[in-house]
Amino acid sequence: MSINEIRSQFPILDRSVNGRPLVYLDNTATSQTPRRVVEAIDDMYFAHKANVHRGVFALSQEATDLQEASREHVRKFLNARSTAEIIFTRGTTEALNLVASSFGGSTLRDGDEIILTVMEHHANIVPWQLLQSRINFKIKVVTINERGELDLDQYRSLFTDRTRLVSVTHVSNVLGTVNPIREIVDIAHSRGVRVVVDGAQAVPHLAVDVQALDADFYAFSSHKMYGPTGIGVLYGKEQLLENMPPYQGGGEMIGKVTFEKTTFAELPFKFEAGTPDFVGIAALAQALDFIADTSYELIASHEHELLQYTTARMLEIPGMRIYGTAPDKAAVISFLVDGCHHYDVGMLLDQLGVAVRTGHHCAEPLMNYLGIEGTVRASFAVYNTLAEADAFIAALNRVVAMLR
Ligand code: C6P
């Protein structure tokens, strides 16, 4: 499939912003949505809307079937063993809160330790800190080298006989670094320690096989991988999920309720309290099909070309500093230009039609570690083109000339 054929599936890419053709380079925050996903949402609302797992009537059965077909799609997508291991959430954030509250809350004890990394998104830091108000455990932090890669020797040295859990991002939303998850998992498992993986920035770019990674939990959001907003997935090994208490209470997650005692539903429903976003869940299957039809091979090779080309062109600009230069890197470029404030760069780029993100990217501890307030971040998706990279570089040169 050509990039132009891919682009034609995303109507938003044809619009202009501030009188210029839109160059959308904030894909790490959220990617754009192909027509087939929006059509699936329409179809759910216009033809199949009824509450799921509740009605005996045909419409409810159809909605339920579409939701559960999507769960099977996600199972295949991650190569999970069973659909019991696929829990729908509101996003990565809710998935990580679920793990911290339910798994962390039921397994950690006062005096225990967990390991995070300095490149974590707030969604993989704050839920653990909230849990610290209930349990007095310690958070240890893996640092990075000058390329933005995790220091695995230091990681190994953090383990003690009180280490109970490692929670780590697969791909950094700031540095782009692709972390060696299998190695990280093996090191932890050899000490009997469980591993949670934040896959929010991995699934848009690379194929994930949870069995090959041997991760105990894996979380991601649909809206960053061409799917609808408001939907995420938590994968967990069945035996772990089986032993965890429910995260929220309400309809759907129960077996039998009396005022004296409530029993809980089987997996995965035990963790899906209330009416789910069955419209979004059904449409997520179309995003997975879009990725399958496009293929991760094409996504990876095209994004790699965009990354290499844009990085080289950016480095021609005097005073350019790029944060994150790992050889194994997703197409995310965080940068600062000497003498230019990151907000000014972002706002002026917008005037020229280029959408990038500025600020701390919800990774303040990483910014503190790097000794900076924030960066400008340009991030690519499979529909971006080399011509857009050129437009971005031309706009950036103009902005830098203006600010200096
Ligand atoms: N990062 C970014 O611009 P939610 O908001 O739940 O869909 O995803 C949270 C999240 C968790 N982990 C990582 C590594 C992430 O990058 C994100 C979201 C966006 O970088 C929005 S802050």
Instruction: Output the CA 255–ligand 1 centroid distance in Å.
Output: 34
DSSP, collapsed to helix, strand or coil, labels residue 102 as helix
Instruction: Indicate if ligand 1 lies below 6 Å from the C-beta of 198.
Output: yes
Give the model confidence (pLDDT) of 165-174 as tens digits: 999 999 999 9
With cut-offs at 50, 70 and 90, classify the pLDDT of residue 363: very high
Q: What is the pTM of this model?
A: 0.98
Which residue, judged by its Cα, is nearest atom 19 of ligand 1?
29
- High-pLDDT (> 90) share of the chain, %: 99
- Choose the residue to mutate in 116, 173, 205 for probing ligand 1, maximizing ligand atoms within 8 Å of C-beta: 173
Instruction: Indicate if ligand 1 lies below 6 Å from the C-beta of 93.
Output: yes
What is the pLDDT, as a whole number, of residue 54? 83
CA 209 – CA 394 distance, rounded (Å): 39
What is the pLDDT, as a whole number, of residue 211? 98
Name residues whose C-beta falls within 8 Å of residue 80's C-beta, 6 or more positions apart in sequence: 74, 86, 210, 211, 235
Which residue, judged by its Cα, is nearest atom 16 of ligand 1?
173
Name which of 334, 330, 384 is nearest 356 in CA terms: 334
Give the model confidence (pLDDT) of 73-118 as tens digits: 999 999 999 999 999 999 999 999 999 999 999 999 999 999 999 9
Which residue, judged by its Cα, is nearest atom 3 of ligand 1?
29
Mean pLDDT of 115-128: 98
Instruction: Indicate if ligand 1 lies below 6 Å from the C-beta of 222.
Output: no
Mean pLDDT of 280-294: 98
- High-pLDDT (> 70) share of the chain, %: 100
Closest-lying ligand 1 atom to the alpha carbon of residue 95: 6
What is the pLDDT, as a whole number, of residue 157? 98
Name which of 194, 175, 163 is nearest 370 in CA terms: 175
Give the model confidence (pLDDT) of 173-201 as tens digits: 999 999 999 999 999 999 999 999 999 99
Residues that are catalytic: 362
Mean pLDDT of 387-394: 98
Mean pLDDT of 307-323: 98
Structural domains of the chain ordered from first start: 3-32+295-403 (3.90.1150.10), 38-292 (3.40.640.10)
Instruction: Output the CA 161–ligand 1 centroid distance in Å.
Output: 32
What is the pLDDT, as a whole number, of residue 344? 98
Instruction: Indicate if ligand 1 lies below 6 Å from the C-beta of 200.
Output: yes
With cut-offs at 50, 70 and 90, classify the pLDDT of residue 124: very high
Instruction: Output the CA 121–ligand 1 centroid distance in Å.
Output: 7
What b/e string do you get for 187-219 counting C-beta neighbours within 10 Å, with b at 16 or more?
A: bbeeeebbbbbbbbbbbbbbbbebeebebbbbb
Instruction: Output the CA 177–ligand 1 centroid distance in Å.
Output: 15
Mean pLDDT of 14-34: 98
User: Within 13 Å of residue 126, how many CA atoms lie on the same side as its CB?
Assistant: 10
Instruction: Indicate if ligand 1 lies below 6 Å from the C-beta of 334.
Output: no
- Choose the residue to mutate in 97, 121, 172 for probing ligand 1, maximizing ligand atoms within 8 Å of C-beta: 121
Give the model confidence (pLDDT) of 250-276 as tens digits: 999 999 999 999 999 999 999 999 999
What is the pLDDT, as a whole number, of residue 291? 98
What is the pLDDT, as a whole number, of residue 55? 81
Instruction: Output the CA 171–ligand 1 centroid distance in Å.
Output: 11
At residue 233, what is the residue type?
V
Give the model confidence (pLDDT) of 26-74 as tens digits: 999 999 999 999 999 999 999 999 999 988 899 999 999 999 999 999 9
What residues pair up with 140 in beta bridges, in sequence order?
Answer: 115
